[in-house]
Chain A
Amino acid sequence: MSGLTSDLNVSVQSLLTSTESMDVTTTNISNMNTPGYARRRVVLEESTPTGLDGSTTGVDVKAIQSLRDNVLDLSINAATSQQNQSSTIANSLSAAQVLFSDNASSSIGSTLDSFFSSLQQLSTSPSDDSLRSNVLTAASNVAASFQSTESCITESQQQMDQDVVQATGDINSLLQQIATANGVISTANNLGQNSNTAEDQRSALLTQLSAIVGYQTVNSSNGLTLTTDDGTPLVVGTKAYSLTNAISSSGFNEVEAGGVDITNTIQGGNLGGFIQTRDQSLASMKTQLDQLAFQFAQAVNSVQTSGSDEDGNTGVALFNPPDTTAGNATGAASSISVSLTSASQIAAAATGGTSGDNTNLLKMIGLQNQSIIDEATPTAAVANLTFSIGNAISQATSDATATGNILTQLQNQQGSVEGVSLDEESSNLVLYQRSFEAAAKIISTVDTLMGNLLDMGATNPGY
């Protein structure tokens, strides 16, 4: 027969324990939508015996365990990084691609076509002043198109640049918070306490971080260590190593860790997307555009200077690209403009030819079908640019969709492991309620019976 004291101890202890269990269930339900929250359950252990008779105080709550699958979480974060990078690239390039749509009448392709058409028309009557004037207008439309296309690309790059700075700030904030969470978790663990809430928070922070940038994690003795993909430390224990920005020779912000430029090593997340777009996709387009402007202008100018204008003078350059002698195309698209001041300066005639001679014009027209832009005709060069940007976006969009599908699957997996199920929790509730109803009746009965037993004259020792 067990002693009453022992039973009472069990009861008191049990009250405490069951309160914890109920708390866990309540916590689960109220946190079902909390990012990073992992379903908890109580792990119970029989208390160590304290009584001489080997009796125990009942059960102790050994641990409130968070049901988290760490490997799954890592996979999800990796997929999140990837998807965000791809989406960012696709979105960032969308503005620039409009310039290359075949629909746009001010596109480079259209203005070049119009320029060559105006030359053709002039070739039917080389001394016609209004036709000459049309050629100059068409030429300045070409220049304007190059300039506005370049300008749009540069604007996009500048937007990306701002986004890089913003993202760096966001990363630093998250790194701080992760370092703090590391501290809380570490302290709790050292005291043998559970750290579920801090771990949930840290998990949410890690996912948020992965959306912004890719990183590596290592479990170490002082907690979770975060590094960049190439090993530069970001968080070690409770210390966060903030990133900084500095303007480089390109005029754009680089990302630095400890004063060292790590921009080129950053992968994944929105930041990876901003950097890739700014420094690769858009930069490459600008280079190709410059090349196109430079070589086109150079070819036209070359024909101009090998003919005679309406007054019989040797032709002068039609366009103003910069620094033709140095052969450096950088900046050509932003600075190309028409150099001639008068339409009579168009060198339609062969050298020494008369004002009605169109020999030189025919040469200029012929440029349209010559491989003057790195072994491509002007039209082909434009088509290539169009394809490049369209393809970059299309690829990034596909990547984002594909990783999105993987992410959904991983999240489903995570949900099944870590997600709180209202149905499960509710079904338990119903069972409890039914049991409690029955139990309450028995309590009542027992109370009555004991009352009767005592009333019937059994000596009441009193409380």
Chain B
Amino acid sequence: MRVNPNYTANMVDLLNQSQQDETKALTELSTGRRVNNPSDDPAAEAAMVAENSRSASVDQYTASSDSLTEVLNTADSTLSSVVTLLQRASTLGVEAANSATMNQTDLNSIANELTGIQSQMLSLANTSYAGQYVFGGTVTGIAPYVADPTVAGQVDYVGNDQQNKVQIGTGLSVASNLPGSSIFSQSSGNVFDALQSMITACQSGNNSGITGAVTKLSTASDTVNTARVFYGNTVNELTSNESYLSQEKVNIASYENTLVSCDTATATTAVTQAEYQRNATVAAAAKMNQVSLLDYLK
């Protein structure tokens, strides 16, 4: 059985193969990825599509959480100011109720300050963040608290009692707002009513009216403070969730690494081996070309 005298074709094939191996390994080293095309590892690529999607979701949950945190904090600090105002109004009310020391002039003066407080309160209740009213439920385009032009001190709520939910994780949502109706209103009326009743009582020197108003303010204050719990809790949940999301990002990135990343050591070795293979092939080809039977017949 003769050996194929046309060994050149085999040599060329071997050279091509080692050339391809080297190119592949070099590509991996420069891109940092073992898998650069779907055909390199179809299953890994398909998994990457899913992981990239997960990763994008996690990024978005983080972004949503950040946005929410800002608006919730804004709302909460607004309510903090509301509480301060209510406390001030309460203090004034207690003063005004002390008929022993108060005369009508004093009461009028208190009534004035309370009017000022009332208008500040209205402004706070109509706080907006990024152009959207914060305390209107899902009515965010118009100010939720409207002063009745005909009835002094009457403020009507024109928002709704809806809460939006926002997703912050897989199967995890938080309410993103608290409607004003849960904050500034009670069954007996809203905080503006309470302030107005005190103003009216002061203006008319109605001591028992003042005392009654102090109680109403106290109830309103409690309602606001209770409402603030929502914001505190929600922000806490968002914060602790963010650290979970960070961990998720790390996990995903780590998994993606195992799917498609180039192991530098392996790729470097592959380049070295391919070069070695190529040199050996070229040397062998050169040798085979030189040596022939005739040399041995000298």
Contact = CB atoms under 8 A, between A and B. Distances in A.
Interface of A: 32, 90, 93-94, 97-98, 100-103, 109-110, 112-114, 116-117, 120-121, 123-128, 349, 353-359, 362, 365, 368, 379-380, 382-384, 386-391, 393-394, 397, 404, 408, 411-417, 419-424, 426-427, 430
Contact of A354 (B36, B57, B138): B138
B232 to A, nearest CB: 19
Contact of B67 (A100, A124, A368, A412): A124
12 contacts: A101-B36, A109-B52, A114-B56, A121-B64, A128-B130, A354-B139, A379-B53, A388-B42, A408-B10, A415-B5, A416-B3, A419-B6
B2 A386 contact: no
Contact of A101 (B13, B45, B68, B140): B45
Nearest to A120: B60
Interface in B239-298: 260, 292-294, 297
A121 B6 contact: no
Contact of A417 (B2, B137, B139): B2
A408 B13 contact: yes
Given A120-B64, A413-B4, A394 B39 contact: yes
B131 interface: yes
A423 B292 contact: yes
A424 B297 CA distance: 12
Given A356-B138, A394-B42, A412-B4, A386 B160 contact: no
A121 B294 CA distance: 82
Contact of A365 (B50, B138, B162, B167): B167
Given A101-B36, A126-B164, A109 B294 contact: no
A390 B167 contact: no
A419 B9 CA distance: 12
Given A120-B64, A412-B4, A422-B292, A128 B39 contact: no
Contacts of A390: 37-42, 45-46
A247 to B, nearest CB: 31
B88 interface: no
Interface residues of B, number: 56
Nearest to A359: B164
Nearest to B160: A354
Contacts of A90: 39
A356 B140 contact: yes
Contacts of A98: 37
Contact of B141 (A355, A417, A422): A355
Interface in B39-66: 39-43, 45-50, 52-53, 56-57, 59-61, 63-64
Given A113-B53, A356-B141, A430 B64 contact: no
Contacts, number: 194
Contacts of A357: 138, 162, 164
A124 B68 contact: yes
A365 to B, nearest CB: 7
B172 interface: no
A120 B64 CA distance: 7
B4 A123 contact: no
Given A112-B53, A128-B132, 4 more contacts: A109-B53, A356-B138, A383-B50, A423-B294
Given A390-B38, A397-B39, A417-B2, A125 B132 contact: yes
Given A123-B167, A423-B5, A356 B139 contact: yes
Contacts of A368: 57
A395 to B, nearest CB: 9
B4 A358 contact: no
B46 A121 contact: no
A184 B195 CA distance: 117
Given A394-B42, A427-B294, A380 B50 contact: yes
A98 B40 CA distance: 12
Given A117-B59, A386-B38, A430 B297 contact: yes
A419 B164 contact: no
A117 B60 contact: yes
Contact of B37 (A101, A116, A422, A424): A101
A387 B140 contact: no
Given A117-B59, A124-B176, A379-B53, A387 B43 contact: yes
Central interface residue in B2, B38, B68, B132, by most chain A CB within 10 Å: B38
A390 B45 CA distance: 8
B151 interface: no
A78 B201 CA distance: 107
B1 interface: yes
Central interface residue in A117, A124, A353, A354, by most chain B CB within 10 Å: A124
